A and B are shown apart, each in its own frame.
Chain A
Amino acid sequence: MKYEAVIGLEVHVQLSTNTKIFCSCSTRYSGNEPNTSVCEVCSGQPGVLPVLNAEVLKRAVKTGLALNCSIAKRTKFDRKNYFYPDLPKGYQVSQFDMPICANGYIIVNDGLAEGKKDKKIGITRIHMEEDAGKNVHGSDGKSSFVDYNRAGVPLLEIVSEPDIRTSSEAKEYLEKLKTILKYIDVSDCNMEDGSLRCDANVSVRPAGETKLGTKVEIKNMNSFRGVQKAIDYEIERQIKVCESGSKITQETRLYDEAKAVTLTMRKKEEAFDYRYFPEPDLPPYDIAPKDIDAINSALPELPDAKFARYINEMQLSVYDASLLSNNPSLAAFFDECAAGYKNYKAITNWLLGDISKKMNELGIEDIFSSRIRPENLLEMLVLIDNGTISGKIAKTVVDEIFASGEKSSKIIEKLGLVQISDDGFILKIINEVVAENPKSISDYISGKEAAVGFLVGQIMKKTRGKANPKLVNEMLITELAKLKNA
């Protein structure tokens, strides 16, 4: 029998606000000692009360709008009650029945792989909540140690509909989500450092069946790759269980990255009764349409719109448009360049070619954290266009921009990279090269056109790449024709 998987994802993203959700402790504690970014509120002292960070509410609305959600007119917080050492108050302030956002979607597969169709993955809801602290396991195996630096960091929990069918779709969903969140600048979205975390609900059913199978929740995946592998393993495991005639148990399983397997953590009977109830310490929040409008009109252009614009207005290829629009900083860089330079293809080639390669080499993720600026690239493109430098020389210029951040014109001057377009000088070199390579000349005369390339290479070498290649080509062919006809 053929089986189909049904997958839903629950993503927690940390918002990159200055302060925690309910107190004024800084969220920038990375690298600090444990329990240093902590006050009476986020350490759950008796008598403390929460006050909501305005920026959290704003970013939640922003995220909802970017993910095509409807925004609640009125929202409230609820308490989710359970005991765990990383939870200072014995309850998490979260949202239950009145989440801030609902009914959104993300479009995945948008053209990156040719031939695939766009697919809408529904977003059930987005809610605000506080993060828990961190438990560190002691080396003796007898103790654990609790650090509340992370306790109270604002989170958005983004819950998808069970619209995902494959692990690669899951990965595409996560990548697209991450791209959008980076565009709107609400979160760092880094799965490795925990600012983006993902749990998956997975079930299988015979292909064509419309009823849902029993779902299993998978936790503890630490990378997009891990999500993909865990889902693949789980689908295969569930199919095997079904094929053996057994029933899937509703449970929570942990992904073991080292062994690439999922392991039972908790069966359904042990499911928690969280006893949600409205948080009496926080009043409800009304969200005025004018506030939503203001946030909406301040939203940046999002990847889908950018992609469409690159294709329709700038005639980029689907592949290039997709690569650019899925990289918020590269797209911003591109847009800045494109505002002052009309050869979009040239910008794209440089950005996705040499510049991306250079960034990879240097381990730079965000182009704006490198030394290159749109004005450097623009100046360079103009210098290529007016023949001052060759495309080849430009590669050296790019290297130098990354190293020094200097203007292209200054680099060219400093390194003496100006293109040689002096006929007399070039002719002199041609003559030298012709004299030094009689074999190639006779090859050419006997009809081996390929010899031209070799000869051009020799000329360029002699001029250390500075000779105008177009001119070299033209003049060499003229000279060779003379020799042939002689």
Chain B
Amino acid sequence: MISKEEITKIAGLAMLELSENEKAEYSSQLSSLLGYFNEIQDLDLAGVEPTNHALVADNVLREDTAVPSLGQNVVVAGAPATDGKSYRVPAIIETEEQP
């Protein structure tokens, strides 16, 4: 069972502002989903390696050779707010937000 409080905490981690209705809805839906998902707890998985990666070849590397970058006007142009050179965001207050 996932409480509304837990949903609020999780939503905070995911940076989602949810309405009270959404919280209630997700709390009940996720509770029933996880109720069903708990089936996997029945599996005997002792000694089983997790599949951390899909079918991949190991050791994929790139040479340390620079190629020209895209340029300021290209990258910053699509942003919702800029000063033409940098992305503009609401003031960052370091003591509150820096992780």
- The reply to whether A285 and B53 contact each other, CB–CB distance below 8 Å, is no
B64's nearest neighbour on chain A, judged by CB, is A55
Question: Within A403-421, which residues are at the interface with B (CB < 8 Å)?
Answer: none
Question: Within B15-68, which residues are at the interface with A (CB < 8 Å)?
Answer: 15, 52-54, 56-67
The residues of B that contact A313 with a CB separation of less than 8 Å are none
- The reply to whether B86 and A136 contact each other, CB–CB distance below 8 Å, is yes
The residues of A that contact B96 with a CB separation of less than 8 Å are 266
Assess A284 versus B70: contact at CB under 8 Å? Given A85-B89, A145-B86, A278-B52.
Answer: no
Q: Is A390 in the interface zone, CB < 8 Å from B? A: no
- The reply to whether B59 and A17 contact each other, CB–CB distance below 8 Å, is no
- The reply to whether B87 and A146 contact each other, CB–CB distance below 8 Å, is yes
Within 8 Å by CB of B61, from A37, A38, A57, A272, lies A57
- The reply to whether A142 and B65 contact each other, CB–CB distance below 8 Å, is no
Stretch at the interface among A28-36, A111-119, A452-460: A28-36
Complex-state Cα separation, A83 to B99, whole angstroms? 8
Complex-state Cα separation, A302 to B72, whole angstroms? 42
Q: How far is the CB of A100 from chain B (nearest CB, A)?
A: 13
B82's nearest neighbour on chain A, judged by CB, is A145
> What is the interface size of chain B, counting residues whose CB is below 8 A from a CB of the partner?
38
Assess A145 versus B83: contact at CB under 8 Å? Given A19-B65, A38-B75.
Answer: yes
- The reply to whether A18 and B70 contact each other, CB–CB distance below 8 Å, is no
A265's nearest neighbour on chain B, judged by CB, is B95
Assess A36 versus B69: contact at CB under 8 Å? Given A24-B62, A84-B97, A254-B94.
Answer: yes
B50's nearest neighbour on chain A, judged by CB, is A278
B12's nearest neighbour on chain A, judged by CB, is A273
Stretch at the interface among A46-54, A101-109, A476-484: A46-54
Complex-state Cα separation, A81 to B10, whole angstroms? 13
Q: How far is the CB of A484 from chain B (nearest CB, A)?
A: 77
The residues of A that contact B60 with a CB separation of less than 8 Å are 51-52, 282-283
The residues of A that contact B64 with a CB separation of less than 8 Å are 17-19, 53-56
- The reply to whether A143 and B91 contact each other, CB–CB distance below 8 Å, is yes
Q: How far is the CB of A282 from chain B (nearest CB, A)?
A: 8
- The reply to whether A265 and B98 contact each other, CB–CB distance below 8 Å, is yes
- The reply to whether B86 and A146 contact each other, CB–CB distance below 8 Å, is yes
- The reply to whether A54 and B72 contact each other, CB–CB distance below 8 Å, is no
| Chain A positions 3 through 19: 1 when the CB is less than 8 Å from some CB of chain B, otherwise 0 | 00000000000000111
Complex-state Cα separation, A284 to B92, whole angstroms? 36
- The reply to whether A143 and B94 contact each other, CB–CB distance below 8 Å, is no
- The reply to whether B69 and A84 contact each other, CB–CB distance below 8 Å, is no
Q: How far is the CB of B48 from chain A (nearest CB, A)?
A: 15
Assess A148 versus B75: contact at CB under 8 Å? Given A84-B99, A142-B91, A278-B53.
Answer: yes
B76's nearest neighbour on chain A, judged by CB, is A35
Q: How far is the CB of A219 from chain B (nearest CB, A)?
A: 8
> What is the interface size of chain A, counting residues whose CB is below 8 A from a CB of the partner?
57
Q: Is A399 in the interface zone, CB < 8 Å from B? A: no
The residues of A that contact B72 with a CB separation of less than 8 Å are 33-36, 38
Q: How far is the CB of B61 from chain A (nearest CB, A)?
A: 4
- The reply to whether A37 and B69 contact each other, CB–CB distance below 8 Å, is yes
The residues of B that contact A56 with a CB separation of less than 8 Å are 64
Assess A54 versus B61: contact at CB under 8 Å? Given A142-B91, A144-B91, A275-B13.
Answer: yes
- The reply to whether B65 and A18 contact each other, CB–CB distance below 8 Å, is yes
The residues of A that contact B58 with a CB separation of less than 8 Å are 283-286
Q: How far is the CB of A284 from chain B (nearest CB, A)?
A: 5
Complex-state Cα separation, A136 to B82, whole angstroms? 13
Complex-state Cα separation, A142 to B95, whole angstroms? 16
Q: Is A147 in the interface zone, CB < 8 Å from B? A: yes
B15's nearest neighbour on chain A, judged by CB, is A83
Q: Is A25 in the interface zone, CB < 8 Å from B? A: yes
Complex-state Cα separation, A33 to B76, whole angstroms? 12
Q: Is A356 in the interface zone, CB < 8 Å from B? A: no
Complex-state Cα separation, A275 to B13, whole angstroms? 9
Complex-state Cα separation, A142 to B88, whole angstroms? 10
Assess A280 versus B65: contact at CB under 8 Å? Given A33-B85, A34-B86, A85-B87.
Answer: no
Assess A38 versus B57: contact at CB under 8 Å? Given A18-B64, A278-B52.
Answer: no
- The reply to whether A147 and B86 contact each other, CB–CB distance below 8 Å, is yes
Complex-state Cα separation, A272 to B71, whole angstroms? 34
The residues of B that contact A137 with a CB separation of less than 8 Å are 91-92
- The reply to whether B99 and A272 contact each other, CB–CB distance below 8 Å, is yes
Q: Is A82 in the interface zone, CB < 8 Å from B? A: yes
Q: Is A62 in the interface zone, CB < 8 Å from B? A: no
A219's nearest neighbour on chain B, judged by CB, is B98
Q: Is B90 in the interface zone, CB < 8 Å from A? A: yes
Complex-state Cα separation, A264 to B94, whole angstroms? 11
**Interface of B toward A, CB cutoff 8 Å:** 13, 15, 52-54, 56-67, 69-72, 75-76, 83, 85-92, 94-99
Q: A34-B72, A40-B70, A85-B87 are in contact. List 15 more A-B contacts (CB 8 A).
A: A17-B64, A19-B65, A38-B72, A39-B75, A51-B60, A51-B62, A52-B61, A85-B92, A144-B88, A144-B90, A145-B83, A145-B88, A280-B54, A282-B60, A283-B59
For the complex of A and B, the 9 pairs showing the least CB-CB separation, nearest first, are A55-B64, A145-B86, A278-B52, A54-B61, A283-B56, A26-B66, A146-B87, A24-B67, A144-B92
